[in-house]
Amino acid sequence: MRPRCFSVRRLSIYVVVMLLSAGSATVAVAQSQEPKPALPATPVAQPDSPASGETPTGVSGSSWQGPNFGVRIHWDPAVWSVEGESIDEGYDGLQIGTPSSTVFLEAYDGFAGDAEACFAAAEQEIGEREGISEVVPLADRPLPVAAEVRGAAGLFGLTATLPDGTPYRGVEYVECRTVKPGEAVLEITWQSVTQAFNEDFANVEELLATIEMPQDSPSATPVAPQATPVD
C-alpha cells in the first residue's frame, strides 16, 4: 500500500468539493487526489538528498519523471499546472490540474505490483469516504486511455451530501498499472465535478497518452521504430 501519510481517500468529500469549486470559479488551485488532499508543494526530502540541500523533484519545465520508479509524463503548460508533488522512499507522487479537474500520478511500492489488486482497493476506498452516499460504475462512458495501454481501470459517478446539505455529484477515473512486477504499481486518478467531465475529457485524454512507463514495465509505452537513413 502507499505510505499512509499520502492516503487521501479518507478525507471528507466536503474538502474536495470546496477545492474543485474554487478552481472552477476562478483559476486552477490545489485540488484533491481520490478525493485527495493537495500533495505538499515542497517534496519530502529523502535521507540521501543532495548535499546542496535541495529537495528531490521530478519536475522539469512541462514534464515530470518520478525519481524512484521512472514513470514519465509531459503536459501542455497552457492547459495544465503543477499543483503538488511528493517524493519519498518508495513513492513518487504528482498532482496536476486545470481549473476544473485534477489528475494524480502515484507510483509506489505496493500490492506486489498487481494492478488488479490496486484497482480493487481503490474502488473499495471510494465508497468508504466521508460524505459519500452512492458510487456508481459508469460502464457506458468512454475512458480517457486507449485500451491497448490501459491497465485495470474504471470510471465512477459519485454522489455526496455536504455538511450544509448541498448535494454534490462528481466523476472519478481510476487506473492502476504494474510498474515493477512483484513490487510496485502506478495509480492514476482523474477527478472532476460532473459538469466538467465532458469539458476536460479531451485534455485528460491527451495528457494521459503521454505517460511513459519504465522499460522493464509490462505496460511500458512502446517506442516506434525509426528507419535508418540511407546515405
Return d(Cα 57, Cα 43) in angstroms, integer.
Answer: 7
Residues contacting residue 75 through CB under 8 Å, at least 6 positions apart: 62, 63, 96, 207, 210
Q: What whole-number distance in Å separates Cα of residue 74 and Cα of residue 40?
A: 20
Q: Would you report the helix, strand and coil content of the chain in percent, each value rounded to 5?
A: 20, 30, 50
Please answer whether residues 185 and 108 qualify as being in contact, where contact means their C-beta atoms are separated by less than 8 angstroms: yes
134 residue type, one letter: E
Calpha distance 207→204 (Å, rounded): 5
Residue type for position 113: G
Radius of gyration of the chain (CA): 18
What distance in Å separates the CA atoms of residue 180 and residue 168, rounded to the nearest whole number? Answer: 37
Task: Walk across the sheet containing 184-193 and list its strands.
Answer: 81-88, 91-97, 101-109, 184-193, 167-180, 152-161, 132-137
Can you give the pLDDT at residue 168? 87
Lowest mean pLDDT among 44-53, 110-119, 167-176, 182-191: 44-53
CB-side neighbour CA atoms (13 Å) of 119: 18
The overall pTM is greater than 0.85: no
Q: Which domains does the chain have, with CATH numbers?
A: 4-44+56-208 (3.40.1000)
User: Taking residues 129-135, what's their average pLDDT?
Assistant: 91
* Residue 68 clears pLDDT 90, i.e. is over it: yes
pLDDT, tens digit (0-9, with 9 covering 90-100), for 149-165: 999 999 999 998 888 88
Nearest 5 degrees, angle CA 152-CA 35-CA 61? 80
Express each pLDDT in 199-213 by its tens digit.
999 999 999 999 999
